[in-house]
Amino acid sequence: MSDTDVQRTYTAPSPAAPSLLEQEIPLQPEVLRRAGLSFAGPVRELLAALADRGVDDWVVTGCGDSFFTGLCAEVWFARLAGRRLRAVQAMQLSRETYESLTDRSVVVAVSHSGTTARVVEAARAARSRGAFVVAVTANPASELNGLADFAIDNSVSGERSNTRTASFQAVALLMRMLAEEVGGHRNDELPAGVALVPAALETSRRAVQLLPEDVLSGEHWIFTGSGLGYAVAEYGMAKFYEAATLPAHSVELEQFIHCEIFTVREGTTVVIVCPDGRATSRAVELAQGLGRLGAITIAVTNDADLAAASTHSLDLPAELGEEDLPFLGVLPLQWLALRLALARGEDPDVVANKWVNRPLIDDSSQWGPDAYAVSSDGVPTGSDR
């Protein structure tokens, strides 16, 4: 299926037709298939280009969903490659911590549009320190691509909804493939969990539809998880305010127990993203504690104990391996955001306040090359230029 074919599977929404988001969610199996084919060559070419650099520092930088794929990469690099990778917010890298980069650093800068000002700036900051910059974007003519030493085309998703589904899945798969290649055990097969996506699309949709109406009425939503579960929780949080215009926030599971739990009251809704794996026992303890506080807990899991400890569960496939969580865990959260948007009378294809948000993303003033120059005493001269 070509990009044009993917686009043609959409129809313009009308009062009687599904939203773009509802049409887009089922396209993810095909997007993942095509992404696997599209990225295999570039991933190997990238590693070949880095062979003589003595790389000892990997960084993924971006904003929003792009950053969340970096959180996935952080775990995958550790588990599958035994290597350290940092996921760093674009502004944190571009103005605060870029000085830690060296010519042995690889910075993967992710922006679907290629025009996100802070990601462009992060790439410029990385170049100022001699780092090798990899651009991941669907816009080959973008400024981000122009700053890169190596570019990977992410135009495989063909999505039109502002509530991103397919582009997240594609870049997440790219990060997984890169981790496996760095670890020296890539093969031509997609991760096992990807094969579960087609069936899980329908089962997760049904599970979301079966949630009682009163469960969805809350105005205080918290998403939590650990490791890959935290990355998926961050993504789910973003879909809530993009599609349903609902205030929500996410927090790492252990941090929740130490801090955010103080804000929980009866009726607070907590979504716990945690498959059977390393964090399950701790997630069960949290769900039990939240039950004593009268919170509503929705577990995205395939663990029976966590499902039993929660007030509701959105079940993941029993055979899902923990390393494949992102490809499956996002599905019920997409359907949940869609259901909430429709229940609240929101248009899931229209992100609130975009008229202010988008110019702030693309048209922000940037630090130019001079801002990253080093003074005679070795101190960067960083300032708005």
The torsion defined by the Cα of 122, 89, 72 and 203, in degrees rounded to 10, comes to -120
| Euclidean distance between CA atoms 309 and 289, whole angstroms | 9
Q: Which residues are CB-neighbours of 2 under 8 A, at least 6 positions away? A: none
Q: What is the pLDDT of residues 281-294, one digit of tens each?
A: 999 999 999 999 99
The torsion defined by the Cα of 88, 92, 97 and 101, in degrees rounded to 10, comes to 40
pLDDT for 4 equals 40
Residue 233 three-state SS: helix
List domains and CATH numbers for the chain: 3-190+359-372 (3.40.50.10490), 195-343 (3.40.50.10490)
Secondary structure string (H, E, C) spanning 15-84: CCCCCHHHHHHHHHHHHHHHHHHHHHHHHHHHHHHCCCCCCCEEEEEECCHHHHHHHHHHHHHHHHHCCC
Q: What is the pLDDT of residues 232-247, one digit of tens each?
A: 999 999 999 999 999 9
Contact 343, 249 (CB under 8 A): no
Of residues 251, 97, 173, 65, the one with CA closest to residue 86: 97
Over residues 340-365, the mean pLDDT reads 92
Contact 221, 240 (CB under 8 A): yes
Q: Residue 256 belongs to what H/E stretch?
A: helix 253-258
Q: What is the pLDDT of residues 14-63, one digit of tens each?
A: 556 789 999 999 999 999 999 999 999 999 999 999 999 999 999 999 99
Can you give the pTM of this predicted structure?
A: 0.93
Residue 94 three-state SS: helix
What single letter denotes the amino acid at residue 280? T
Tokens of 305: 């104990």
Residue 160 three-state SS: coil
DSSP string for 117-140: HHHHHHHHHHHHTTPEEEEEES-T
DSSP string for 290-354: HHHTT-EEEEEES-HHHHHHSSEEEEPPTT--GGGHHHHHHHHHHHHHHHHHHHTT--TTS-TTH
Q: What is the pLDDT of residues 95-113, one digit of tens each?
A: 999 999 999 999 999 999 9
Contact 178, 83 (CB under 8 A): no
| Euclidean distance between CA atoms 259 and 106, whole angstroms | 34
* pLDDT tops 50 at residue 9: no
